[in-house]
């Protein structure tokens, strides 16, 4: 999505800042709903349910009001939309699975690095300029990512950092979870770059419906291949999946797109850093998960790096 040169002068019903805050709160609930459902439901089934329900909610609107646009989509656009949906499907499969193995704080902070990988790969794929701010921000965030990645095997004792052997630092559940979360960030970056290629030529609802539908098909195929059951779980787990589709996916992302009508893209992108903060707070309140000092320090570095990278669009 390209940044507009001017913002609308009309006043919305609610202040844009409030709408953006609502969006951040909504997406911050995702890890919470996932953790509740993961007590019984496999991660890929949760991911498939989330995207399938989100696509079904959008279907009546798009299929009745956007029929003309759907017919006008070119073959190249269909290929790009399908590629974006594949990236998105594997993103959710990877990230949601990561929550089985690592803490909410580590998972959410690492997956939030997606904009940095977009910035790094954009010169190669999108032919966009890589500024010095992006280099600095990427370096800071990479240091933070390494710290978060090894936090499960290191502790701070009386001011000294004590870590286990190298082999243990790059193995085990915590490292696997962090690796999956970072993989989710790479896949999300692929999804975002595809979106930059095709998003401006399509209505937002049409674009999201198609991409969500492809992602849902990819995830259902993974469910079939892995032999996971989609039925037979406690009713409350289906409620968590339903809430996952409605609150973070539809309400949260819709609020962000609505806010972009009145606020600059740069402001919204920085404000999105509130998602990991909100998620960690909710994880503490409802899951009693307290991030350790290394996770906090690494997470802060990652967020600072993203702020630096998005500080300026040009040198």
Would you give per-residue pLDDT tens digits along the chain (315 residues)?
Answer: 444 444 454 566 778 778 888 888 999 999 999 999 999 999 999 999 999 999 999 999 999 999 999 999 999 999 999 999 999 999 999 999 999 998 888 888 888 888 778 777 777 776 667 677 777 877 887 788 777 766 665 666 655 666 555 454 456 788 899 899 999 999 988 888 888 778 778 888 898 899 999 999 999 999 999 999 999 999 999 999 999 999 999 998 878 777 766 765 556 666 667 788 888 888 888 888 888 788 788 888 888 887 787 665 444
Tokens of 135: 């280099």
The answer to whether 60 touches 139, Cβ cutoff 8 Å, is no
Which of 81, 2, 58, 38 minimizes the C-alpha distance to 251?
58
How many Cβ atoms from other residues are within 10 Å of residue 79's Cβ?
12
Contacts for 165 with CB less than 8 Å, ≥ 6 apart: none
pLDDT recorded at residue 3: 42
pLDDT recorded at residue 151: 66
pLDDT recorded at residue 6: 46
Question: In this structure, what DSSP letter does residue 55 have?
Answer: H
């Amino acid at each position: 999505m390209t940044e507009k040169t001017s913002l609308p002068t009309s006043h919305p019903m609610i202040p844009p800042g409030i709408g953006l805050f609502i969006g951040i709160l909504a997406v911050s609930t995702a890890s919470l709903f996932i953790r509740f459902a993961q007590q019984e439901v496999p991660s890929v089934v949760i991911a498939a349910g989330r995207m399938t329900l989100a696509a079904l909610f959008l279907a009546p609107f798009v299929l009745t009001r956007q029929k003309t646009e759907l017919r006008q989509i070119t073959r190249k656009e269909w290929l790009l939309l399908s590629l974006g949906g594949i990236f998105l499907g594997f993103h959710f499969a990877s990230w949601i699975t990561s929550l089985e193995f690592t803490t909410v704080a580590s998972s959410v902070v690492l997956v939030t690095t997606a904009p940095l990988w977009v910035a790094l790969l954009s010169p190669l794929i999108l032919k966009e300029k890589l500024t010095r701010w992006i280099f600095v921000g990427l370096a800071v965030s990479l240091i933070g990512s390494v710290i978060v990645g090894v936090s499960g095997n290191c502790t701070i004792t009386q001011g000294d950092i004590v870590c286990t052997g190298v082999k243990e630092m790059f193995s085990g559940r915590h490292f696997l979870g962090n690796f999956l979360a970072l993989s989710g960030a790479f896949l999300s970056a692929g999804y975002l770059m595809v979106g930059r290629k095709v998003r401006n030529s399509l209505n937002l609802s049409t674009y999201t419906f198609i991409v969500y539908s492809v992602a849902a098909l990819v995830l259902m195929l993974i469910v079939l291949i892995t032999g996971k059951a989609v039925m037979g779980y406690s009713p409350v787990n289906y409620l968590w999946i339903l809430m996952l589709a409605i609150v973070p996916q539809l309400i949260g992302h819709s609020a962000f797109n609505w806010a972009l009508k009145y606020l600059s893209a740069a402001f919204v992108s920085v404000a999105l850093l509130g998602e990991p903060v909100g998620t960690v707070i909710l994880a503490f309140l409802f899951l009693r998960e307290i991030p350790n000092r290394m996770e906090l320090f690494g997470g802060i570095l990652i967020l600072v790096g993203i702020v630096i990278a998005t500080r300026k669009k040009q040198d």
